[in-house]
Structure 1
Amino acid sequence: MTIPNDPPQSGSAPVSLELVEQMTLLEKASLMSGANFWNTKPIARLGVPSIMLTDGPHGLRKQGGAADHLGLNASIPATSFPTASHLANSWDVRLLERVGAALGAEAAAEQVSVLLGPGLNIKRNPLGGRNFEYYSEDPLLSGKLAAAFIRGIQSHGVAASVKHFAVNSQETHRMSIDEIVDERALHEIYLEGFRIAITEGRAWTVMSSYNRVNGTYANENEPLMLDVLRRRWGFDGLVVTDWGGNNDRVAGLRAGNALEMPSTDGVTDLEIVRAVEDGSLDEKILDERVREVLTLIERTRQKTSDVVDHDDAHELAIEAARQAIVLLSNPHGQLPFTEGSGRIAVIGDFAETARYQGAGSSLVNPTQVDDPLTALRATDLEIVGFAPGYTRRDSPSRLRRRRAVALASKADTVLLFVGLDESAEAEAVDRKHLALARNQLELAEELFALGKPVVVVVVGGAPVELPFADRAAAIVHAYLAGQGGGRAVADILTGAVNPSGKLAETYPIAYADVPSSADFGRTEATSEHRESIYVGYRYYDKVGAAVRYPFGHGLSYTSFEYTALTADTSHARLTVTNTGERAGAEIVQIYVEAPSAAVGVARAARELRGFAKVHLDPGASAQVTIDLAEHAFDAYDVETGAWRGVPGRYRVLAGASSRDIRLDAPVDSEGTPWSARADALPHYVSGHVADVDSAEFAALLGRELPSPNWPRGGTLTRSDIIAQTAGRGGFASVLHGLITTTSALLMRVGRPHASNNVKFVLDMPFRSIPRLTGGKFDEAMLDGFLLMVNGRFWRGAANLTRAALRRNRTVT
């Protein structure tokens, strides 16, 4: 089989037409779904091989035994690199490319053809349960980092899979939720990062998301998949469903989805065959999808296969962690610790038992793990002892607290580790609140009451409320730093490495300050993005809201001065000088501030339009030139359906964060004035989007809002989710109670991953059961099961039993 390594873009000359023409209709259809959980189907007579896809946003998760997509079963040992939420704080595209290349090398060595990552959905709300897998609240930063990561992975002949396309903004009801978002926010916020990642990274695959987007499942959304992804952006690769993410197989095929995963035991293949035979699907569309599968096979067949040095990979994991740890506060120079820092008490369970990754499909089996306590004890610091101080999942821990306070009383300085435990951040569940565990807060209060300096290290993939922030001697956010994070944290605390990470997301003071806090994750059928373009710093800076730490914030053990800024519509140039006594790195951020009259309906106060990381020795200066984003002076025009220049005099700003602006320069941009609808959209003009009501949001959308609630009563169908069995009585309520009780019991006995994975079942559509079981629970069995939950228990049970017996006879 010969397919060009760099095939033409979709819509141009066909690839490997002769091979496609040799296939039977059933063979073509067979390539449209998996052979099992992780592999595609081969066609032996034509020499078409099977290829493997597997999880890997921050580490290879290749399973050698029982397969799943939620981290239930063990995978082979692999390097657990820092998560995307951590790497993003480095703002370092070269580092991301190096980590991507290391992941690509490990995947190639294991003959994995597709690595399912990176994830780059926008962090709309800090409670998003999967935010640890995503880069930022800003699309430019997300897109640039993801593009570099993709280039690194694909340098080894392994395809990166950009996910989850698109608007996968929450985990609650993720397989059925309808994300309602206006067109301008869709393109400026939720699609722009994908555009940059795909066009600059040249990704070979894209994974469609489970959710609906404005009423249509993403996998079937032709405006997204065909008009935007392929025609506008020129994507010439393959679209794969998220696992179990197919709704209507033929509709997905028409919209550009080639591969459905995992195996459906041939059920949906036959749906494709029937659609071609009855004329409802043009076979030319199927042929195009087949060519996309063949192109992917050819692109990934030349994988490098060198033996991976896991020790070298571990050192890279440490370096990546070092470059992204964020020093949030250090008001009195308590850090770095030195030999003269006196006696230090290390307190907090996270110091000894490192939390270094999230949970779910990204759960990696690490080759080794460095914990902070061991790394600190290997330094010259005087560590007087360690006390865990609290239990991991917020159960009462008075004895541990007393012992920790007693230890702290013997020390000169307290080093306190706090953070989010394993149950808090995982695929398929959103966080319930922004607070730290009660037992951690109680411990912190007692330690601060001692009157000694308390240095706090925060662990977790997202912001938390920090009510003690003003009393802390210093605060370091370690995020989820991967298997080498323990050594990296010790290096930052001791000054062996000068911190240079900066926040890729805003740190609110309290959850109520978040504009989407009122209804995020609390609705049933829809999730309304009433805040529109005002996500993260675009909101806080527009309305002047107080924040704990602004977007782009991060401190160093040295200082930097910015001078001589000049700018035009393409570049910004300035000089950066290290005015301190230590070598360090500064992340220079370029924002663009629009004229007040530009797009009167809505405009953020300022938007990130470029960045660069500059390494400088003490006293050294560097002249830095930063490219401005493609749409630096544009906004998305809903009327014309395209990006459009907005005229006026702009301010180009150079800053150390979105609120630490050091320099500005005027730049005139051309364009055609826009007409404004400000009278109908007052809160979008002012930015006070937390006050937007249904009428104003409907006016922004230009249509009536769909109901946010599930229909009450009636018959549950295949498209409904299992959570809708609640309160229906009979077997339906028994089923719902069994799932929720099992989840609660697993959490109580200390198995948070299993608990969350059981809870995941509630958000599954009934149609996904046959698909995620590889057809072992087939369509006929599902029909019987639906009768049972719809109040016809005995008839449904009989039908299910007969269907199961028929299937067993067929299999045997």
Structure 2
Amino acid sequence: MDPPGRRAERPRHRHLRSRRRAGIPLLPGPGDGVGAAARGSPVSADVDLLVGDGQWLTHADPAGGARALRLSDGPSGLRRERADGSTIPATCFPPAATLAASWDPDLLEEVGVALGEEAHRLGVDVLLAPGVNLKRTPLCGRNFEYLSEDPLLAGVLGAAYVRGVQSIGVAASVKHFAANNQEHRRHSVSAEVDERSLRELYLSAFEWIVAEASPWTLMCAYNRLNGVHASQHHWLLTRVLREEWGYDGLVVSDWGAVHDPAAAVRAGLDLQMPGDAAAPPLLRAALADRSLPEAAVAQAADRVRRLAQRCGPERPTTGIEDVAPAHDQLARRAAAAGTVLLANDGTLPLTLPARSRLVVIGRQASRPVIQGSGSAEVVPTAVSTLQESLRLALPDVRVEFAPGYDWEELVEGRRVPRDPDSPAAQRLRAQALALASGADAVVVCLGHPHGIESEGYDRLDLDLPADQDRLVAELVLGAAPVVAGLTTGAPLVLGEWRHQLAALLLPGFGGQAGGAALADVLLGVSEPGGRLAETWPLRLTDSPAAPTYPGERGTVRYGEGVFVGYRWYDALEREVAYPFGHGLGYTTTALTGIEAVVVDPARAVVEVRIGVRNTGERPGGCVVQVYTGEDDPVLPRPPRELRAFARVRLEPGEQREVTVELDGRAWAFWDVVGAAWQRTPGRFTIAAGLSSRDLPLSTTVTLPADPAQPRFVDEDTLAERLQGR
């Protein structure tokens, strides 16, 4: 039986059945009495509302009841600019990649509330977040801003984030719609994606968030989708988003993403940002020659007014000093919750007696990289370091530090590798190795300097800097147990030394409190709560996008189809370094049984119950993951897909039953010919476990046919797709 009050253990994974409005009353929509006709003003007067006023503001319409609104980055903290262009400090929370590793919707909602509170206090009406694009390639420079390679996980967590932000009266802006999965040539590249892959993967997280959180705004992408710029893609912005999903919010462009203002408005764009003096005359000319319908302008302007009504009256800028300490503690808790323990021989958590020696190595421990680069970059209110946090937490232990390596040089955002055999690199390495000799434990912090992972360009490879690779390879040859921590927002390819470590942690980008949070995890004050939200491959060439990234002649073909992330590796039975969903805790967990009951055959609703028990000696948590797969699919389908998950925290020896509900979408594929979600009758396997590769429990259900018979077209198998690349 589920205990009362534990929402995360009985999640609402009912595939778009509800239209939850996050407690926000619905206001009149376009055409419901707030339009130009109701105000008695001509449609041409609406044009100014469709284009921003400068970099961050919208135009006001006092006659129409709309004040000017302020928009601001970003996903992990406010980037509110002053008049002189400087940035007001704000809490720098862990970015989306780290938050997603928590697999905790309640935490994402709590962080969203905090971001909304800071936006409210800094006079920001629209927070340009969250980013929910799928992680198609591990090279994407902006992956640290995105949640997952899996659309369900991205959708559930993104919806929670949106609900938190908007509960304060601040609009969230879900981005980047759609198929913005690389930074390379992002302004012009055309993502060539078949409709089934779009529906099942690249649009799915957006669809979930629209249905479950009703975001007040949604941001279109820079790239082209199948040849058409996202900002003027009628099928995407009108047919799918508004007509099929029923979206009633505002669509805003990414900054500078509009190429043809009139075409964008015709397609369904409401607000072009930033301000552009050339746009209003072009829109008025299009109205005059009737190439732009008046109704399209009126609808877009009404949506801008409606957003202003939702955001409420202008609020004074009061500053965040009163909430900053609490938000710093939340950032610390969130960073620990997103820290993934990839391997552990029992060394962690560290237990160090008085007068023992703990050696900390690495620039990341003293000058941490807390976030990625680009528009998401935050000026933090404070920054903790692992070096100082350990010294404060262990007053009776000798905590000693050596840099071990120096940062690489950056030239136009690209790294210039330092030669590991250079005199400077050898000297730093020798100092670190000498200090580690005779230590009771060694913690080495690894990762790239600030600027390698960034908006605007992609990474060149998945390698650690050569001098860091050499350093840790020599450290593990010593007598002291070595614990490594990886500061990164995306996967790395690690050397064979990873198998010789005492423990391997992935704190990722930890935000401003990441140093203190990592100390908490190392010492057992906090549990390493993270589970991987993306697969870590053994080699870059193993990844699904490797054969077609970054594209050629202005296009990139998504030739892998629906086989992205773990779906790809599992279909090919390809070995990975660390699988999707993987992560260890400081206790052990056993899944003790699984039962699936078809509670509504007509709608294919299935209730799944899983027993889980803490078999260790410490309190701790795990993430129970539920996957489904069709036993004899009529179309090429992944062998298993995540359909539900639940975080569970248990006392030693405690056992609990976790219940999740799956509905028809859990078994369905997109039927391109029938233009609908369909399922074929037959047997499906339901598997439960602790990662996509650790699924000890399974059962089957047999489901009837859909009332509407599918009219699908045979597709290439995965093998045929591979041959055709």
TM-score normalized with structure 2 length: 0.90
Which deviates more from structure 2 when the two are superposed, residues 189-198 or residues 419-428?
A: 419-428
Answering whether residue 705 of structure 2 is matched by residue 693 of structure 1, we say no
Code of the residue aligned with 1:454 in structure 2: it is V
Code of the residue aligned with 1:51 in structure 2: it is L
- Report how far residue 255 of structure 1 moved: 1.1
Q: 1:629 to 1:391 in 2, by over 3 A?
A: farther
Alignment counterpart, residue 585 of structure 1, candidates 609, 621, 625: 621
Alignment counterpart, residue 704 of structure 2, candidates 666, 670, 675: 670
Q: 1:97 to 1:641 in 2, by over 3 A?
A: same
Alignment counterpart, residue 690 of structure 2, candidates 656, 663, 667: 656
Alignment counterpart, residue 374 of structure 1, candidates 369, 384, 388: 388
- Report how far residue 522 of structure 1 moved: 5.2
Question: 1:27 touches 1:43 (CA, 8 Å); kept in 2?
Answer: no
User: In structure 1, what is the equivalent of residue 52 of structure 2?
Assistant: 34
Question: 1:20 touches 1:291 (CA, 8 Å); kept in 2?
Answer: no
User: In structure 2, what is the equivalent of residue 635 of structure 1?
Assistant: 669
Code of the residue aligned with 1:226 in structure 2: it is T
Alignment counterpart, residue 418 of structure 2, candidates 384, 395, 399: 395
**3-state DSSP class of the match of 1:456?**
strand
Alignment counterpart, residue 297 of structure 1, candidates 299, 308, 317: 308
User: In structure 1, what is the equivalent of residue 17 of structure 2?
Assistant: none
Per-residue CA deviations over 1:371-397 (Å, capped at 9, x if unaligned) read 111111112373441011111224342
User: In structure 2, what is the equivalent of residue 206 of structure 1?
Assistant: 218
Alignment counterpart, residue 338 of structure 1, candidates 336, 342, 351: 351
Partners of 1:248 and 1:642 in 2: CA distance: 32
Which deviates more from structure 2 when the two are superposed, residues 377-386 or residues 490-499?
A: 377-386
Code of the residue aligned with 1:336 in structure 2: it is P
**3-state DSSP class of the match of 2:202?**
helix
User: In structure 1, what is the equivalent of residue 80 of structure 2?
Assistant: 62
**3-state DSSP class of the match of 1:97?**
helix
User: In structure 2, what is the equivalent of residue 803 of structure 1?
Assistant: none
User: In structure 2, what is the equivalent of residue 14 of structure 1?
Assistant: 32
Q: 1:208 to 1:401 in 2, by over 3 A?
A: same
TM-score normalized with structure 1 length: 0.80
User: In structure 1, what is the equivalent of residue 660 of structure 2?
Assistant: 626
Per-residue CA deviations over 1:457-480 (Å, capped at 9, x if unaligned) read 001101101112111111000011
**3-state DSSP class of the match of 1:90?**
coil
Q: 1:628 to 1:340 in 2, by over 3 A?
A: farther
- Report how far residue 5 of structure 1 moved: 5.4
**3-state DSSP class of the match of 2:97?**
helix
**3-state DSSP class of the match of 1:252?**
helix
Question: 1:635 touches 1:646 (CA, 8 Å); kept in 2?
Answer: no
Code of the residue aligned with 1:7 in structure 2: it is L
Per-residue CA deviations over 1:562-604 (Å, capped at 9, x if unaligned) read 12311233321122111111111110000002112x233x100
Question: 1:42 touches 1:49 (CA, 8 Å); kept in 2?
Answer: yes
- Report how far residue 541 of structure 1 moved: 0.9
Partners of 1:125 and 1:250 in 2: CA distance: 34
Answering whether residue 631 of structure 2 is matched by residue 595 of structure 1, we say yes
- Report how far residue 345 of structure 1 moved: 1.1
Code of the residue aligned with 2:74 in structure 1: it is G
Alignment of 1:205-224 (within 5 A): 205-224=217-236
Answering whether residue 191 of structure 2 is matched by residue 179 of structure 1, we say yes
Partners of 1:580 and 1:236 in 2: CA distance: 49
Question: 2:362 touches 2:402 (CA, 8 Å); kept in 1?
Answer: yes
Alignment of 1:467-478 (within 5 A): 467=495, 468-478=497-507
Question: 2:361 touches 2:402 (CA, 8 Å); kept in 1?
Answer: yes
- Report how far residue 91 of structure 1 moved: 0.5
User: In structure 1, what is the equivalent of residue 588 of structure 2?
Assistant: 559
Answering whether residue 266 of structure 2 is matched by residue 237 of structure 1, we say no
User: In structure 2, what is the equivalent of residue 645 of structure 1?
Assistant: 679
Question: 2:39 touches 2:63 (CA, 8 Å); kept in 1?
Answer: no
Partners of 2:449 and 2:680 in 1: CA distance: 46
- Report how far residue 57 of structure 1 moved: 0.6
Which deviates more from structure 2 when the two are superposed, residues 372-381 or residues 32-41?
A: 372-381
Q: How many residues align?
A: 674
Partners of 2:37 and 2:306 in 1: CA distance: 12
Code of the residue aligned with 2:143 in structure 1: it is N
User: In structure 2, what is the equivalent of residue 228 of structure 1?
Assistant: 240
Answering whether residue 429 of structure 2 is matched by residue 408 of structure 1, we say no
Higher relative contact order (CA closer than 8 Å, sequence separation 6+) = 2
Per-residue CA deviations over 1:21-43 (Å, capped at 9, x if unaligned) read 43344421100111100001123
Question: 1:572 touches 1:625 (CA, 8 Å); kept in 2?
Answer: yes
Answering whether residue 555 of structure 2 is matched by residue 526 of structure 1, we say yes
- Per residue, is there more helix in 1 or in 2? 1
User: In structure 2, what is the equivalent of residue 279 of structure 1?
Assistant: 290
Partners of 1:350 and 1:480 in 2: CA distance: 11
Partners of 1:410 and 1:90 in 2: CA distance: 36
Partners of 2:313 and 2:531 in 1: CA distance: 38
Partners of 1:311 and 1:633 in 2: CA distance: 46
- Report how far residue 646 of structure 1 moved: 2.5
Answering whether residue 518 of structure 2 is matched by residue 489 of structure 1, we say yes
Partners of 1:636 and 1:123 in 2: CA distance: 21
**3-state DSSP class of the match of 1:111?**
coil
Question: 1:114 touches 1:158 (CA, 8 Å); kept in 2?
Answer: yes
- Report how far residue 629 of structure 1 moved: 5.9
Q: Which runs of 5+ in 2 are unaligned?
A: 1-23, 409-416, 420-424, 599-604
Code of the residue aligned with 2:668 in structure 1: it is D
Partners of 1:629 and 1:61 in 2: CA distance: 40
Which deviates more from structure 2 when the two are superposed, residues 151-160 or residues 508-517?
A: 508-517
Question: 1:633 touches 1:669 (CA, 8 Å); kept in 2?
Answer: no
Partners of 2:314 and 2:104 in 1: CA distance: 26
Answering whether residue 149 of structure 2 is matched by residue 149 of structure 1, we say no
- Report how far residue 408 of structure 1 moved: 1.2
- Report how far residue 281 of structure 1 moved: 1.2
Partners of 2:695 and 2:385 in 1: CA distance: 37
Partners of 1:674 and 1:323 in 2: CA distance: 43
Q: Which runs of 5+ in 1 are unaligned?
A: 68-73, 695-812
